[in-house]
Amino acid sequence: MNRVLVRGDGVAAYCCVHLLQQAGIPVSMERLNRPRLPAIMLTEAALALLEDIFGQRELFRNLPRISTRTVLWGPTAAPVTLPHSAVVTSEETLLASLRPGAADEECDTQPSWRVFASGPLPPECTEQRFGLRRARAAPVDLRSGDPGCWTESTDDGWLFLIGLGGTGWLLSSGAAAQAQLERSRVVAKQIQRLGEPGGEFLAHPRIVSPLAGKGAGGELWLACGTAALAFDPLCGDGTAHAVREAVLAVAVIRAIAGGAPASDVLGHYESRLLAGFHRHLAYCANYYRTGGRSPWWSGELDALERGIDWCAGQSRHLPAFRYRLNGFALEAVA
C-alpha cells in the first residue's frame, strides 16, 4: 500500500504514527501548531495503554502522582474522599515523551489513507455538538503541599482542582471561577491564591459524522482522536479514549490492507466510536442531572439528552460489531 498521511500533533496522532511504523507501513505526518493544555491527569487505564503501545514501562514513573479524589456533588451533598490513582503532567511534556521520529518527510505520492487526528476534515463531515459549556484553566497556589484532586458542583457550574504539592491548576466551567469560589464549600478551602485564567476551550461533548469514508482521490480516510469525538473533561478520560481510537484506527488500516472489505471494516469503526460516545453522554447525564438546579445545569442536561437520542438514531443505521481487537490487530467475529 502507499503511504498513510496522519494530520495532527497530539496523542492520537503520535500513537497512530508509532503503530503504523511498528507495522512497517510508510507514514508521513502533517504537524499542526495549537495551544497545549497546562495540565492533564492520566489515569491508570491511560498509562497502561501508552506503556503497552510505546513499550516503555517506566515512561511516567517520575511524574507527580495523585492518590485521593474529594467529590462534593449536588446542592445538599456532603464531601466524600475516595481513593484515586493517576499522574499529572502538562500536555507538552506528555507529547515530548511520545513524539515519533522519522515521520516528517513530505508525502510525494497520493496517500492510500488519510488519518485526520486534527482538522480541517473532509467537506462531507458535520460536527454534532451537545452543549454550550466552555472551560477555563487557571494556575493556583495551594494551602497544602499534599497532592490530590477535588471536584465540586456549584449553583451555576463546576470546579475541578488538581493539586501538585503547593501549586496546581483549577479548571472551571459555567460561571467565572472567582464567582464560583465565593460559594464553594470544598475547593475554595484548598486555594491560597488564584492566578489569571488562560483562554477558554470547549468542554461539551462533540462528534463528527461521518467518521470515515473515501476521498476525492480514491484514498480512504478516517477521523481519530479529538477530530473524531471530544469528551467533557469532567466526565471522561479523554487521553485513554484517544489512544484506544488510534489503536482501532491503525487496526482498521491494517485489516483493509490485508484484504478485509473496506465497507464492513469502516462500518465497524463508526459503530465502535459511536457506541463509546453514547456511553459517555449517558455517564455525563448522570452528573448534570444531579449537579444543580439552575438554568445552566438544566440547559446542559437537555443538550446531553438530545445527544443520547441522536446516538440511538444513528446506531440504527450502522452495522452490528463484526470484528474485535486481538492485541493491535482486527479479526472477524466468527
Residues 27 and 169 in one domain: no
Q: What is the mean pLDDT of the chain?
A: 91
Residues 112 and 259 in one domain: yes
Task: Residue 81: give its domain's CATH number.
Answer: 3.30.9
Residues 177 and 209 in one domain: no
Residues 128 and 267 in one domain: yes
Mean pLDDT of 106-135: 90
The fraction of the chain above a pLDDT of 90, given in percent, is 69
100 in a structural domain: yes
Residues 11 and 153 in one domain: no
324 in a structural domain: yes
Residue 102 above 80 pLDDT? no
Residues 114 and 258 in one domain: yes
pLDDT category of residue 104 using cuts at 50, 70 and 90: low
164 in a structural domain: yes
CA distance 303 to 291: 15
Mean pLDDT of 121-148: 93
Say how far residue 220 (Cα) sits from the centre of its chain.
24
The continuous run of DSSP H or E covering 140 comes out as strand 134-142
Mean pLDDT of 101-121: 79
pTM above 0.85, yes or no: yes
The continuous run of DSSP H or E covering 329 comes out as strand 329-332
Residues 97 and 187 in one domain: no
Alpha-helical (H) ranges within 42-138 are 44-54, 91-98
Neighbours of 317 (CB within 10 A): 9
Residue 103 above 70 pLDDT? no
pLDDT, one tens digit per residue, over 46-94 is 888 999 898 876 778 788 889 899 999 999 999 999 998 898 888 888 8
CA distance 70 to 161: 10
Of the residues 174, 203, 232, the one at which a domain ends: 203
45 in a structural domain: no
51 in a structural domain: no
Residue 2 above 80 pLDDT? no
**Residues 162, 38 contacting (CB under 8 angstroms):** no
**What per-residue confidence (pLDDT) applies to 59?**
75
Residues 148 and 229 in one domain: no
Number of domains in the chain: 2
Residues 151 and 225 in one domain: no
pLDDT, one tens digit per residue, over 245-278 is 999 999 999 999 999 999 999 999 999 999 999 9
Structural domain span for residue 283: 4-38+90-132+204-332
> φ, ψ for residue 141 (rounded to 5)?
-100, 135
27 in a structural domain: yes
Residues 94 and 231 in one domain: yes
Of the residues 203, 219, 250, the one at which a domain ends: 203
Residue 148 above 80 pLDDT? yes
Residues 160 and 271 in one domain: no
75 in a structural domain: yes
43 in a structural domain: no
Residues 212 and 71 in one domain: no
Of the residues 203, 236, 261, the one at which a domain ends: 203
**What per-residue confidence (pLDDT) applies to 260?**
95
Task: Residue 296: give its domain's CATH number.
Answer: 3.50.50.60
pLDDT category of residue 151 using cuts at 50, 70 and 90: very high
pLDDT, one tens digit per residue, over 11-45 is 999 999 999 999 999 999 998 877 788 888 888 88
